[in-house]
């Protein structure tokens, strides 16, 4: 685990340096022209040239530390785009009916959520405010019940509610009810006006299990290891990031 973490840390450092090279390209280009350093395409940089380049980058960072947030932001965007590549359509395609906001909305915000997650509960009001402020916003909710067996039962009932066209009502009622258990799940289903017998039959269907397994695989592909997690446009966000940050991501996705 320590080796894996060290490798990831080194990878991030090298990636940030690559971004910094891009930002400081004019300075470095001038350096090479001034000193006429030669690079052998086959052999790569010599040890002396590499050391000189590293010194230039180090000096540039120390003189211009304000570029680091920009470099990290660029790095996050590149990594997010890479993780989303090839799966963005699958991520944005909801289980039928498991949608908040405008089902025909042009801007799609995807939320991975767990009814047992306190931070997901805190994010409900943020999502409601964003839906109210953005008539073209479609929120695709991906049930990711990873915190407790009861949250799996709640997620299955939520998908059964979607089958009855009552997903938003159950979603809100379940979060309002508190942590999921048999009593709160039943209470939320009743509050949402579900046909309980029909919902229990749908919740037991293989397609519901398949959806939860699919969501878990998508979360792993995107590098998510908790809830809430978000995908919008080419951005991936983790945690209860707040309404303002989500609003900025929505605006960026619309541009």
Among candidate residues 247, 245, 233, 230, the one with its CA nearest the CA of residue 113: 230
Please indicate, yes or no, whether residues 138 and 246 belong to a single structural domain of this protein. yes
Please indicate, yes or no, whether residues 101 and 223 belong to a single structural domain of this protein. yes
Percent of the chain with pLDDT over 90: 62
Please indicate, yes or no, whether residues 80 and 93 belong to a single structural domain of this protein. no
* Residue 202 and residue 163 in contact, taking contact as beta carbons nearer than 8 Å: yes
Q: Per-residue pLDDT tens for 150-179?
A: 999 999 999 999 999 999 999 999 999 999
Q: Per-residue pLDDT tens for 33-67?
A: 444 444 444 445 566 677 777 777 777 777 767 76
Total number of domains in the chain: 2
Please indicate, yes or no, whether residues 108 and 212 belong to a single structural domain of this protein. yes
Placement of tokens 């995807």 in the chain: 110
* Residue 122 and residue 239 in contact, taking contact as beta carbons nearer than 8 Å: no
Please indicate, yes or no, whether residues 59 and 155 belong to a single structural domain of this protein. no
Please indicate, yes or no, whether residues 35 and 153 belong to a single structural domain of this protein. no
Q: Per-residue pLDDT tens for 14-32?
A: 444 454 444 444 444 444 4
Please indicate, yes or no, whether residues 222 and 141 belong to a single structural domain of this protein. yes
Final residue of a structural domain among 84, 100, 117: 84
Please indicate, yes or no, whether residues 14 and 75 belong to a single structural domain of this protein. yes
- Report the C-alpha gap between 233 and 253 in whole angstroms: 5
Calculate the average pLDDT of the chain: 82
Please indicate, yes or no, whether residues 73 and 130 belong to a single structural domain of this protein. no
Please indicate, yes or no, whether residues 50 and 156 belong to a single structural domain of this protein. no
Q: What is the DSSP string of 120-161?
A: HHHHHHHHHHHHHH-TTEEEEEEE---S-HHHHHHHHHHHHH
Check which CATH number belongs to the domain holding 224 and give it: 3.40.30.10
**Residue 73's pLDDT band (boundaries 50, 70, 90)?**
low
Please indicate, yes or no, whether residues 213 and 110 belong to a single structural domain of this protein. yes
Angle at which helix 182-191 crosses helix 196-203, to 10 degrees, equals 120
Boundaries of domain holding 76: 2-84
Final residue of a structural domain among 53, 84, 115: 84
Q: What is the mean pLDDT of residues 189-215?
A: 98
**Residue 97's pLDDT band (boundaries 50, 70, 90)?**
very high
- Report the C-alpha gap between 111 and 119 in whole angstroms: 12
Please indicate, yes or no, whether residues 55 and 147 belong to a single structural domain of this protein. no
- Per the model's pLDDT, the better-predicted residue between 221 and 36 turns out to be 221
Q: What is the DSSP string of 49-69?
A: HHHHHHHHHHHHHHH-TTHHH
Final residue of a structural domain among 84, 104, 138: 84
């Amino acid at each position: 685990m320590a080796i894996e973490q060290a490798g990831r840390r080194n990878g991030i450092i090298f990636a940030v340096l690559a971004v910094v090279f891009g930002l400081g390209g004019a300075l470095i280009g001038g350096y090479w022209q001034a000193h006429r350093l030669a690079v052998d395409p086959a052999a790569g940089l010599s040890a002396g040239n590499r050391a000189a380049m590293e010194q230039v980058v180090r000096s540039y960072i120390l003189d211009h530390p304000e570029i680091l947030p920009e470099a990290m932001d660029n790095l996050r965007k590149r990594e997010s785009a890479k993780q989303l590549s090839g799966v963005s359509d699958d991520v944005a395609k909801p289980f039928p009916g498991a949608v908040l906001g405008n089902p025909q909305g042009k801007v799609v915000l995807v939320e991975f959520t767990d009814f047992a997650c306190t931070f997901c509960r805190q994010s409900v009001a943020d999502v409601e405010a964003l839906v109210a402020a953005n008539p073209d916003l479609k929120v695709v909710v991906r049930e990711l019940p990873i915190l407790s067996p009861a949250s799996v039962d709640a997620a299955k009932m939520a998908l059964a509610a979607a089958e009855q066209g009552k997903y938003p009502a159950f979603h809100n009622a379940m979060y309002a009810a508190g942590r999921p258990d048999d009593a709160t799940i039943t209470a939320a289903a009743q509050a949402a006006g579900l046909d309980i017998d029909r919902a229990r039959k749908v919740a037991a269907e293989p397609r519901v299990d398949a959806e939860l397994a699919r969501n878990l695989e998508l979360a792993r592909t995107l590098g998510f290891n908790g809830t809430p997690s978000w995908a919008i446009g080419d951005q991936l966000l983790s945690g209860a990031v707040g309404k303002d940050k989500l609003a900025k991501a929505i605006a960026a996705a619309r541009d």
